[in-house]
Amino acid sequence: MGENGAFQCRRGAGGTQAMKRLAMLLLFLEMTVPAAAQLHFSLYTSHMYDDNSFAFYEKREDVYHALFGALSAGTQSKYTYVQGYYYGALVLFRTYSDRTYNIHTLGAYTQIQLSHRDFGQEQENEHEQEPEQEGSGPYVPAMPRPQPAEATSFSDSLVSYLFIIPQVGGRFDHDNWDFYDFQRGSLLLRWRVRLFGALMARLHHTVQYKRYPNLEQFTHLENTGGIVLNHPLARKLQIFGAIDAGHKRYTETMNDTTWVTDGTPGKGKGGVKPPRAVISQFSTPSTMQYVFSVGLVYRLFQSAPLSLSWLRRSNPSSDARYVREDAIFGLTEDEIFDDRYGYQSNELRLQLDGVLPGNIRTMNSIEVIRKQYPRTATNLAGLPLEGYPQREDNRFVLRLQALYPLFRSADGTGLSVGLAYNFIRNQSNNAYHDFHNHQVAVVLSGDW
């Protein structure tokens, strides 16, 4: 960081050092997992065409390959299940090859049963898992996460549990895009408890430290927490409601930052560099957000619930930090360019995920999102629109994915092949963000 907050894209040994730390932690995990623990391995790869890979008004198509691998090992006692896991992803680009990046995560999962099953109550298989983590960059088909092994003693929907999930991880990019690099550590605590009758509550709290070594203004400590209540309305129908709150505190106190290019050309075929200096407006070093949601879950199939939900994001302040997207082509839906703390929204989502008859794994959703930003909408020249209206986006997202099992063993392991399609339409009064894109992918998935 130079004078007046000038930022230079720079190279360093931080990525290599972080990789060494992850390797040492993985070795420690392998040494500490009991010999009787069962190992699980999964591999996922996709080949996707995207007609607007930068997700902005000027279409730039690309083809990219995503490779995901996960290794987990777990052991179970009468009332406790413990699992260690690693998962990583590599995304390779054909046209803009210097955008290639990889993400690695190492973690543990502990599930402790706090009460005994009430005999006579209907059983319902249910998994608890860590929330989705950030996926900076382009949209890619949904990739799996390590899951705890199914356990008979942990299968009743009215049993109370405590979940403890620590994680460390990082993202590593080529030099031209190393402002995306981060290292993160987090701890998730979740308590699922039966309040009375069939009313269940899930209380959760996550603390996360995330460091951007090449963009220190975005390094932060974040705390999020909340409660989810759900109650059955009928044999296959449930209602739920949730209240969540988040607080993000940045480690750097700054009023503004000037981003300066280093003057070197892009390395990849069609490589791109920031074309000019860009000023990002910052204010106080912390920001907050409240989230309210309500919805219905209908068990359309035994292992594939259909859910309909409405979510509202509200911000008591508008102090989230961001870099204007025209500094680098597009790349929205990211903590640097479009942090969720930086807008208020109403979000409607219809989702069908799970296993269909015939062992077909599916992940589908329709989302309608209305976002309101505390920023003035501009034209393509960067000039404010007449009347200085605030930026508003209306986004429609359709995601479809189905995996057909080529073969499956009795324990459920095997190999699957599938197709994925995404459509995104973002209507915005900010001309730069008015766009749409289509994505089509071939997917291959295996687990053992």
Query: What is the DSSP secondary-structure string of 106-169?
Result: EEEEEEEE-S---TTSPP------PPPPP--SS---------PPP-GGG--TT--EEEEEEEEE
Residues in the chain: 448
Sequence spans of domains, the chain: 3-447
116: confidence class by pLDDT, cuts 50, 70, 90: low
Would you say residue 56 has pLDDT above 50? yes
Among the ranges given (27-41, 44-58, 189-203, 332-346), the one the predictor scored with the smallest mean pLDDT? 27-41
Strands 344-356 and 220-234 come out as unpaired
Task: Decide if pLDDT at 43 tops 50.
Answer: yes
| pLDDT at site 1 | 35
Separation CA 366–CA 441 (nearest Å): 18
Written as six digits, the tokens of 335 are 């903590």
Name the residue with higher pLDDT: 333 or 209.
Answer: 209
Cα R_g (the chain), whole angstroms: 23
Distance separating the N- and C-terminal Cα atoms of the chain: 47
CB 166 within 8 A of CB 108: yes
DSSP bridge partners of 303: 355
Look up the CATH architecture of domain 3-447. Beta Barrel (2.40)
List, as one string, the DSSP characters of 213-235: TT-GGG-EEEEEEEEEEEEEEET
185-243: per-residue pLDDT in tens?
Answer: 999 999 999 888 889 999 999 999 999 998 888 899 999 999 999 999 988 999 999 99
**Cβ 59 vs Cβ 51: under 8 Å:** yes
> For residue 362, what are the contacts with CB-CB under 8 A and spacing of at least 6?
304, 352, 353, 354, 355, 356, 401, 402, 403
Residue 170 is encoded by which pair of tokens?
């990082």
Range 376-383 average pLDDT:
87
List Cβ neighbours of 387 (8 Å cut-off, separation of 6 or more).
none
Average pLDDT of the chain? 79
Structure-model confidence comparison of residues 335 and 294, the more confident one: 294
Closest CA to 365 of 403, 416, 334, 401: 401
Q: Say whether pLDDT at 2 is over 90.
A: no
pLDDT, position 23: 53
- DSSP reduced 3-state for 319: coil
